[in-house]
């Protein structure tokens, strides 16, 4: 089964502050706890600090104050710790072409586990599992650039799943997908046995996939509640530059 779990909490962010070298304060005391197996949407306007927070989850950025732990492992600059944290936190970028660079789908999916030292049958099993999980097994020998955008996004998810992550972080997973690809990806994501943190402006997608949502604005968590509750609060959404599509009504 894809996914390795170690504690009851996949992600624990405590009091995280961060300022960039130019003095811009991007995070101001962020607290976020995500239990194992939960699916949480991270919402907020552009410039709210969402990307900055995500880059703290795998140690690309280090808090000015506070701490981040993944599956009970505190993120530190130590090289061995960072390697394990980056295995546990699988980030799927908005543009799948940022993650696909080898001649075939199978080679792209095998790249991460091979760097962990896997070889032979064990590596082949990882690749088969990951491709099966996203419904792309029959495309294993194709060149990624010959796939549709939706198929490439599914392969990008597979490259992360092959690492057996503790938490899967998705950056705008529904962007640039046609309706069928959007639905197919949602079906795949619902079936994955991993913790999910989804960064999105697509509020209906958040409602479809995540029972809980948090709103980050100006570097602070300003709301944390069931997704249906947040999306039913029009004044709250307006204060933080979030809008539902015309005609969409959140279900209780």
Say whether domain 9-96+166-239 belongs to CATH 3.40.50.300.
yes
Burial of 159 (0-12, 13-18, 19+ CB in 10 A): buried
Mean pLDDT of 103-109: 97
Mean pLDDT of 59-82: 94
The pTM for the full model equals 0.92
Write down the domain spans for the chain: 9-96+166-239
With vertex at residue 208, the alpha carbon angle to CA 207 and CA 210, rounded to the nearest 5 degrees, is 65
Helix or strand (DSSP H, E) at 66:
strand 65-70
Query: Which pLDDT band, with edges at 50, 70 and 90, does 247 fall under?
Result: confident
pLDDT digits (tens, 9 = 90+) for 155-176: 999 999 999 999 999 999 999 9
| Average pLDDT of every residue of the chain | 94
CA distance 22 to 32: 26
């Amino acid at each position: 089964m894809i996914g390795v779990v170690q504690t009851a909490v996949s992600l624990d962010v405590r009091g995280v502050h961060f300022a960039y070298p130019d003095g811009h304060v991007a995070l101001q005391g962020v607290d976020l706890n995500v239990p194992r197996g939960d699916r949480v949407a991270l919402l907020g306007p552009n410039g709210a600090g969402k990307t900055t927070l995500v880059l703290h989850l795998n140690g690309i950025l280090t808090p000015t104050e506070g701490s981040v732990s993944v599956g009970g492992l505190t993120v530190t600059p130590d090289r061995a710790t960072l390697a394990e944290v980056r295995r546990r936190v699988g980030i799927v970028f908005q543009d799948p072409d940022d993650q696909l660079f080898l001649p075939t789908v199978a080679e792209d999916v095998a790249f991460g586990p091979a760097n962990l030292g896997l070889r032979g049958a064990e590596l082949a099993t990882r690749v088969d599992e990951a491709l099966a999980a996203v419904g792309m097994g029959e495309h294993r020998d194709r060149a990624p650039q010959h796939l549709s955008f939706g198929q490439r996004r599914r392969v990008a998810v597979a490259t992360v799943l092959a690492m057996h992550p503790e938490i899967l972080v998705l950056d705008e997973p529904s962007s640039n997908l046609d309706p069928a690809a959007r639905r197919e990806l949602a079906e795949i994501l619902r079936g994955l046995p991993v913790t999910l943190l989804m960064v999105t402006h697509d509020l209906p997608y958040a409602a479809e996939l995540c029972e809980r949502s948090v709103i980050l604005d100006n570097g602070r968590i300003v709301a944390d509640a069931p997704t249906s509750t947040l999306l039913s609060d029009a004044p709250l959404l307006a204060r933080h530059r979030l809008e539902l599509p015309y005609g969409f009504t959140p279900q209780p």
